[in-house]
Structure 1
Amino acid sequence: MTRSLLILVVLAAGPLAGDEPKKPVAPAPESQGDAGSAKRAEEWTKRIDSLASKNTAPRLTRNNVIYEPSFPHDYDWEDQERVLEALNALAQCSDPELWDILIAHGEDQRYSFTARRFGPNAYNFSVGSACRMLAGEQLLWIGRMNSDPDSRGRPDVIVNLGLRDLDKWRSERREKALWELQVELLDKAALEVGKLERLSDDQKKALIAQIERRKDGISRSRKAIFIRVHLDSFDFYSKASQK
């Protein structure tokens, strides 16, 4: 199996259900107030549609305790590459208008790609599960920090934001814009940092000050911080891996 240098996500999806899923229609994003915004929304919707594979999802069979895919002989690997290019383009997007469109496609059950993630089991990812993952990252980054706020290193402080069931948490706040959700979670992150016994008082103060600066910036601008998502937690199947 080859490993694509793409992203992170925390919302894993299991095998797909349903043979003829309905294609959702995305609503216009909140911030859409001009022709340029409408055009961008249309472009992102088309890109999400590109996540839908022409292939049929492979059957997942259990081998001892591991689920492995059985790809049909006519599986189109070039189309899989096309799908992964679309996924990577969406992952690199820094446009907050994409959020509402991703949420709108969260239940899209069209088959997208097959990959392993965070373990040895294979999963068939749907368009919806890919969209939920990308949308979820716009909240989950808040709980990951570096104990040295000025460092560009990997986060070494991870706090629990209470997002184990992210779909449910989001649905309970469906009237809130992304920037409002981020402000709520930044408040939660500051509280959790204050409880960490392994950090010194100075480290806690520095992290909380950084959190407060981010929250103030988001609140003043009423604009969310929209991060680029890394896909290196995925192990994508390829034609070469089947030989």
Structure 2
Amino acid sequence: MSILYENVGAVARIIIDRPEAHNAFDDAMVTALCEAWRRFEASEQRVAVVTGGRSKHFTVGADLKAMPADVWQGVPGVAVPVSKPVIAAVQGYAVGVGMALVQAADLCIAADDAQMLYSEPRVGLAYGLISGLAARIPHKLAMEVMLRAKPVPAQRALSMGLVNAVVPSPELVDTAMQYATDIADAAPLVVRWLKESVDHHVLPDSPTVHALRTMERVREMIESRDFAEGKDAFVSRRAPKFTGS
């Protein structure tokens, strides 16, 4: 099982648990994560904390050796509506879809060894969800994250507004759970209304709308020669030679 789910009082813990692949996303993980979001949405739990479990990384992104068809569906609020707060607790690398998950989460607690990386420009495929980052942090900083495709260390992510707090790695989960408990103790109708207000009336597009608008372009990239070249180069550990086709 690549996704574990447990209830801790009013908090749901959703644990990405594929340590042998550094929590890389395959089809099974996407399916299991979607089911976890459905379970959380239908549950009495008021807040979810998503963590990287036994791996030293939150997730290294999509598994290029077993590429999932619709990895974007694992992001909360895309394929599965999520009306309650989600907190990401990130250790090690959060790459690609991991960055999209952090972006979609309402809060993020990062370990001091965490690094955020949107690597898709160096692989040859982008699902488009990350462009919503420009509505969540300042434009120039969002473009830096997206276009440079370089790791963003935890303290830099904090200064950008990508994360709420940076803590020593051993304190990561406890801190995220404390944030979650603080929220769970508040009036649930008010918390859900505030989240709905921000998600649907303040931010330009919900993740669902953005995904639907970009999927046709994504299909073009999935079928492109550049993506085939990018995957082969990544697996072979060589520099890709992109042609724009």
Normalised TM-score (structure 2): 0.30
> By percentage of residues, which structure has more helix?
2
Give the TM-score, by structure 1 length.
0.30
| Bigger relative contact order (CA 8 A; separation at least 6) | 1
